[in-house]
Each structure stands twice: as C-alpha cells, then as structure tokens.
Structure 1
C-alpha cells in the first residue's frame, strides 16, 4: 500500500485543524496554509484536545507525532505534498480559486481531497487541469476521533484516486464510505438535515426544549444508532420476523401527519433567539473547550466499548489498534535485532509512562506494570517468530501463570525499560522473567511468566513450529549461562 509521508492542509479552521491532528498522529508531516493570523492559536487549542484524546483512545503504542508548520503562502504548503486537504469555507468560487493555485505548484499526482459537506465534486472539478485527482472526503467533527469519512468522486475522478483514498483513510484509522452516486450533502448530512428540521419545529411550536430534543436522542435512539445505525435497529424492532414485518407494521405510518419534514419553519430572528436562548440555558455554564473535552471522553468510552464487542465503529478502532501494535512491534524488533546479544537479557520495551497510566499519586498503577510486562513478552514472542502471520496460521503462546513483584515507583512521563530473560524454553513451555526498570537504572518491578504453546484451531496445547522452537532453543541455551534472577520462582511472601 502507498505510504503518504507529506500532506498539506489548506484552511486551519475546526475541520482543517482536526485533519492536522489526525495526520500528525499517524506520522504524516503537514504543511498548513491559512491567511487568518489567529489560525495557529486555533490549531493549538484543537491539538491540546486531540493529544488528550489520543492518550486515552487506545492502549497501542503511539508513534512519534509528525512535524507540522504553517507556511507563508499556498504554494509552499502544497509543492511537496502527496495528499492535499482543502478545508476552506463552503463557497464554490473560493474553492475553485484555491484549486487553480494548487495546480500551479503541486505535483500532478497529488490527490486533492475536499472537506466540503455538500458541494458536488463534479462542480468542484470544473476548470481543473487534472480533474481526475480530485474527490470529496467529507469528515465529521471531531475529525481526529470520528472514523467516518464520506468519499464522493465526480464525473472526472479516476477510479485509482478513489482506491488510493480508500486505502489512505483506512490507514488513518477511519471508515471510508464510498458514495457511488453524486448527490448534494451526500448521506449523513441529508439525514441530519431531516432530524434538524423536525427539531426546529418541535422547539418552535413549544412542544420541546433544546434539552428535551437532545435527551430524546442521547438517552434513547442515539445510543442504538451509534452501534447499529437505522435499518439494523428497525430490523430488530421487527422481532423474529425481521425487517419485512417491521415494514408491514409501520410502513403505513409514513402517510400519517407525524412530522413536518415537507415544511420548513421561517428562519427568522425570533426562532434564532428561541433556539440560542434555550441552548445557552442547557449548556452555557460549560466553555466550548470543556464541552469538547466531555464529548471526546464520551466518544472514547463508546468507541472502546464497541471495540470490545467488535461492533460498529469499534471495528475501525480495532483494526487501527492492531495496525499500531504491529507497526510498533516491527519498529521495536528492528531495533532489537540490530543490537541483539543473546548472551544477555533482551531489551524488549522502551517507552515513557503515559499520563493516564497513573493513580491519584501520579504513580504508575499496578495494572500497568502487568501490561508493560505483557508487551515485553509479546515483543519477545515476535522475536521468536510468533508474529501476526504465525497467529493467523493458528499458533500462539498463552500465559498460564504470572508472578509480579512491585519494588519501586515511577511517575507519568518518566522513561522505563524492560528486559526479558528466558528461564526455560523447550517443548510446549516458555518460561520468561521480565525486569521493569527506570531509565536511571532503578528496578521497578519483576514479572515472571509461564506460557504454553497453543493451537488456536482446537484451543489445546501443542508444540510450536520447528522454526520457533529452534530460535527459542538458542535463547534458552544462551540465557542458561546467566545467573538466576533474584526473585525467580518466588510465590507471594516467598
């Protein structure tokens, strides 16, 4: 798959800043152009929230944040870019003028991805020298957290451009939804528009307040929509007979005068004052940044919960997290193999303590010591050849017993190192001893693990492959010459 290393973002508002956050979190360098002198300040606020969010979103190791910079002109932003994000205001003439400037400086191969929420890509392409490389990639706020991005090609968009976009956005942990037929406002915003119009009438006619409408969504069907959408929710509503029964039962309701979707309330100052006043009463005691942080924390909890059950948006997070773990393991193994000395314990983890790994004393809590040791064991297994492909083929090691000793404290953002020593490795068994140390040399904890090789096909113990067994034997023989670690074989109180 093509690896994008350099991107440009034109427009540093809410959406543009969200794109910057997601891109740099995924190791892609970004140059930003926005003539607004307050754009850097706005971006800094968004990045403050995105960094907080990513520190909690996944337990996979985060890659180093990529470099970003503002440029003095548009040409400097796009000249080396492989992917160009356009996130300027929703005016067709402005966007087309921006594209003309882009084409004068950018590579013809660079994709132009418009963040428009409703303009047809065919209209955006008019007058372009290379219209085949433009498409719509419509995200949802906050861009750095919500995985959906609607991809819409215009009449001149090349199939290869769409495929590049599908691959690229998946690599960012997103769920690209390819809309194969152009329509204004695409899919999601058309659905939102329908709910929005009906909500305006409910408030306008005094039937509900803004908080009543929001409560109806967030305490009820919104939670169902978050993990099943509309049609799957209604399929379940049909009971064992499914969607057909639901349609037969509720289809006639479509002709009933339940809603005013065919009418639009007059959008006047009175309506604006009514909506704005109620919204202020509902949540005006929070700042926008506080609401954003609350929103992000709730989204993280929902996404993590959905990931646990491999459902809905959780599937996208699970796939992204797996890719992050694999990338981190490959990077770690690359470093290990270049300095590997089998006669000594192997350095398997080297990282800083994340801020959300600590308790109220700002010390790393007990569960994270076990997690770090688990990561070290996983890195060592990959060194043996027990990697994603090996697991996919049906083999792995399962931990059957662990003994953990807590010896010293470590605080958030302090560096830690884990070394792994093989105590025994033959047949189905793998016996490891992990030392968790502060970078200053203090021994923080030790963790002893006994693992058994298992066939994932029948979930029973089995011998590892000949290649894995051979590598394990090499380590076991080399480490047999080392002194037995202090604490090895101990039980609690032993």
Structure 2
C-alpha cells in the first residue's frame, strides 16, 4: 500500500496544525511553513491536545513520533516531501498564489492537497503547471481525530492522483471519500450549511435559544447520525418495508411550508448580538482549549463505542479506528525482538496524563492494561489478529495474577518483557514484567494462562497450524530459561525455594 513518506504543511492554523499532529503521530516527518509569529506555539498546543487524545483513543503502539521542522520559506518546506497540504486562509487569490509556488518548488511527483472547505479545485489549480496532481483534501476539525477527508478533483486532476491519495490516507487512520462531481462546498459543508441556515432562522424568530437548539441535536438525531448517517437512519425508520416505505409515508412532507432553507437570513447586528450573547451564556465560562479537550474526550468515547459495534468488527468511525489499530499492531509485531536474555520485549510506552490517579501515580488498572497491550503484541507476532478472530478462533484468558511492586509516574518511559513458560500451544502460559526504562526498576509482574477456543464450537480446540508454527519455536526457545521466582504464586504466597 502506498504510504506518505514525508509531508509538508503550508499553514499551521487550526486545520493545518491538526494535519501536522495527524502526520506526526502516524510517524511521519513534517515540514511546516507559516509566517505567523505565534505559529510554533499554536501548533505545539494542537499537538499536545492530539497526544492527550491519542492516549485515550487507542492502546495500539504508535510508531515513533515524526520529526517536526519549522521552515523559513515555502520553498524549503516542500523539498523532498511526497504529500503537501495547503491550509492557508480561505481566499481564492491567496490559495491560488500559494499553490502556484508549491507547484514550482515541489517534487513533480508529490501530491498536493488543499484544505479548502468550499473552493473548487478547478479554480485553485488554474496557475499550476502540473495541475494533474492537485486536488481538494477537505478534512474536519479536529483533523487528528475525525477520519474523513473529502477528495475532490478539478478538471485537470488525474483520477490516479485521487486514488493514490485515498490509499495513502488509510495509513494515517483516515478515509478519503472521492466526490464524483466537483461542486461548490462539496458534500459535507452543503449539509452543514443547510442545517446552519435553518438554525439561524430559529434563533432569529425566537423559537429557541442556542443552548436549546444544541440540545435538540445532541440528544436526538445527532446520536443517530454519529453511527448510521442520514439515509441508513431513515431506512431503519421505515421498518421492515425499508426506505421505499419511508419515502412513501414521509416524502410528501417535503412539500409542506416548514422550512426557510430557501431564504437567506440577514446576519444583521441584532442577530449577531443575539447569537453571540446566547452562545456566551451557554458555554462562555469555558476557555477554547478546555472546550477542545472536552470535545476530544467525547469524540474518543463515541469512536471507542463504535469500535466494538457489529460484534467487535466496528461500525462507522469505529471500524476505521479498529482498522487503523490493526495496522499499528501489524507494524509493531514486525519490530518486536528477543532481548539479550531471549525474553520478548513486546511493548514500549510513556505514561500519559490520562493514566494518573489522584495520588499522582499510574492508576492500578493501567498496569493491567500494559500487560493486555503486550499480550496483544504477542498475538500479532504469532498471527492471532482480527482476521484470525473473525475466522472463529481466539485465545481467552482463564487465569491471571498481577503483582504491583513499584510506582510509575507521569511521563515515565516503560517497557514490558515476556517469557513463555512450558505449554502445548492450546494453552499459552506467560510471565510478563513491566520495567521503568530509565533505571530498569521492576514495577509489576503478570502471570497468565490463556486457552485457545473455537467461538463457533464454543469449546477449547488446538490452534490452527500456522499459529502453532510461530508459537512453538518461541515456547521451545524459552524452555531453557530459568523459571521466574514469582511464577506459580498465589496472592500473598512467598515463592517456593528449592
């Protein structure tokens, strides 16, 4: 699959900074050019929010963070990169000028995407000598969390460029939807504009205030849209007869004089003051950074819930997250290597803020999560991935024992080593140790017994040959290692001595 080797962001505002964070956390080096005097501070704040959100979003091991380089010129920024994202202010003349400069200075094979939310690619690529590689790549805020990118080509855009962009976006956890026809404001913004226009009329006519309107959305159809979108939601509303029945029943309502969508509300001083004052009363007591964190926490929770939908295969944005995590685990499994004593180093991480309890230490269940993530890394190494699970086989933990020996604090770098104790593969008996990287202090140990099962037969069965083929050499290789002193212990029991 095509990947993004190195990226450039021209513009580092809310959207540009979001792109930078998305690239960096996917392990991609990023050059940034933004003449704003506070660009470095603003981008660093976006990255900090993104890192915090990712600690909640996924337990899959992220690749080593990409290198961020602030450049003094556009020409410097676009050198030796294969994806260039233009995110300058929404002015046609400015964007057209910037894209023409990018076109001259960049590698002819580099893809060029514009973050415009409404301008057409045909207009933007007018002054480019290589317009075939330029397209609209319209993301959604926050770019580091929301996975959609609308891909819209202009009259001179090559279809191959759009397909290439779509394939590359998968590798950073995003999905590119290619819009069939070029149109002002594309698809998502047209839908949002329709709702926004009607909402402004409801405020202007004193039907409700901003808080009531927001509550209507988030307590009702907003929840449905988050999982099923618009048409599938209405299909379900049609009952067993489906969409055709729904349209026959409710289609005539479209002719009723309910809406003012065809009328443009006059954003005069009175309406601006009304909307602004109601908005301030609704949430003005919270700063923007605080609201961003609340938004990110809620988005993560929704995506996590959707990830386990459809019997664990994921649904909507949750499926995209599950697919991205599976890719991260596959990459991590290729880099796990035996340590000097032949045990397996399965996981490296840093303790994030979200893992800290009221005492300032890593909270208890996060130790277990470290071992669970290390177990997932072991599974990926032996081939027990989602394809294997979806095929009807998996390992279930039937017994475990954890010891908490020392404290971990915010920012501590940790790693997990594992030793496989003698077993037949139908069971996996493992002993794992969690260490602090700086001084190799042993923080915790975890012993577990896992049993291979067939979900279809609902009983324990031997693993498939390809799993045994990868697992058996590991078990045999570890058989010569001394059994850890703490192996086989029960709660409060001292280890037996020979």
Task: Bin the TM-score by the shorter chain.
Answer: over 0.9
SS of 2:423 mapped into structure 1? strand
* Displacement of 1:328: 2.1
Match of 2:260 in 1: 260
* Displacement of 1:20: 0.9
SS of 1:258 mapped into structure 2? coil
Match of 1:400 in 2: 398
* Displacement of 1:477: 4.5
Q: Find the aligned partners of 2:470 and 2:267 in 1 and give their Cα distance.
A: 72
Deviation digits for residues 292-350 of structure 1, max 9, x if unmatched? 1111111111111111212221111111122122222222x2xx15x5654xx333333
Q: Is residue 5–residue 27 contact of structure 1 (8 Å, CA) maintained in 2?
A: no
The count of corresponding residues between Structure 1 and Structure 2 is 488
Q: Is residue 3–residue 171 contact of structure 2 (8 Å, CA) maintained in 1?
A: no
* Displacement of 1:243: 1.6
Question: Is residue 80 of structure 2 the alignment partner of residue 80 of structure 1?
Answer: yes
Q: Is residue 53–residue 296 contact of structure 1 (8 Å, CA) maintained in 2?
A: yes
* Residue correspondence of structure 1 range 182-331 to structure 2 within 5 A: 182-309=182-309, 310-331=314-335
Deviation digits for residues 139-183 of structure 1, max 9, x if unmatched? 111111111111111122112101111111121111222111111
From the superposition, tell whether residues 155 and 424 of structure 1 become closer, same or farther in structure 2 (CA, over 3 Å). same
SS of 2:422 mapped into structure 1? strand
Deviation digits for residues 104-160 of structure 1, max 9, x if unmatched? 211111111011111111122223211110110111111111111111111221121
From the superposition, tell whether residues 397 and 161 of structure 1 become closer, same or farther in structure 2 (CA, over 3 Å). same
Q: Find the aligned partners of 2:174 and 2:442 in 1 and give their Cα distance.
A: 40
Match of 1:361 in 2: 359
Q: Find the aligned partners of 1:174 and 1:191 in 2 and give their Cα distance.
A: 21
Deviation digits for residues 354-409 of structure 1, max 9, x if unmatched? 33223221222332222222333344445555566766776543322212222222
From the superposition, tell whether residues 186 and 358 of structure 1 become closer, same or farther in structure 2 (CA, over 3 Å). same
SS of 1:418 mapped into structure 2? strand
Match of 1:37 in 2: 37
Deviation digits for residues 254-309 of structure 1, max 9, x if unmatched? 11111111111223222212211221222211111111111111111111111121
Match of 2:450 in 1: 451
Q: Is residue 425–residue 473 contact of structure 1 (8 Å, CA) maintained in 2?
A: no
Q: Find the aligned partners of 1:96 and 1:450 in 2 and give their Cα distance.
A: 62
Q: Find the aligned partners of 1:206 and 1:44 in 2 and give their Cα distance.
A: 41
Match of 1:4 in 2: 4
Unpaired runs of 5+ in structure 1?
none
* Displacement of 1:8: 1.1
Question: Is residue 60 of structure 2 the alignment partner of residue 60 of structure 1?
Answer: yes
Q: Find the aligned partners of 2:136 and 2:152 in 1 and give their Cα distance.
A: 5
Match of 1:377 in 2: 375
Q: Is residue 395–residue 456 contact of structure 1 (8 Å, CA) maintained in 2?
A: yes
From the superposition, tell whether residues 467 and 269 of structure 1 become closer, same or farther in structure 2 (CA, over 3 Å). closer
SS of 1:422 mapped into structure 2? strand
From the superposition, tell whether residues 245 and 74 of structure 1 become closer, same or farther in structure 2 (CA, over 3 Å). same
Cα RMSD for the two superposed structures = 2.3
From the superposition, tell whether residues 281 and 383 of structure 1 become closer, same or farther in structure 2 (CA, over 3 Å). closer
Unpaired runs of 5+ in structure 2?
494-498
Match of 1:487 in 2: 486
Q: Is residue 326–residue 388 contact of structure 1 (8 Å, CA) maintained in 2?
A: no
Q: Is residue 149–residue 176 contact of structure 1 (8 Å, CA) maintained in 2?
A: yes
SS of 1:425 mapped into structure 2? coil
From the superposition, tell whether residues 467 and 14 of structure 1 become closer, same or farther in structure 2 (CA, over 3 Å). closer
Match of 2:417 in 1: 419
User: Which 10-residue stretch deviates more, 317-326 or 484-493?
Assistant: 484-493
From the superposition, tell whether residues 378 and 106 of structure 1 become closer, same or farther in structure 2 (CA, over 3 Å). same
From the superposition, tell whether residues 471 and 4 of structure 1 become closer, same or farther in structure 2 (CA, over 3 Å). closer
Normalising by structure 2, we get a TM-score of 0.91
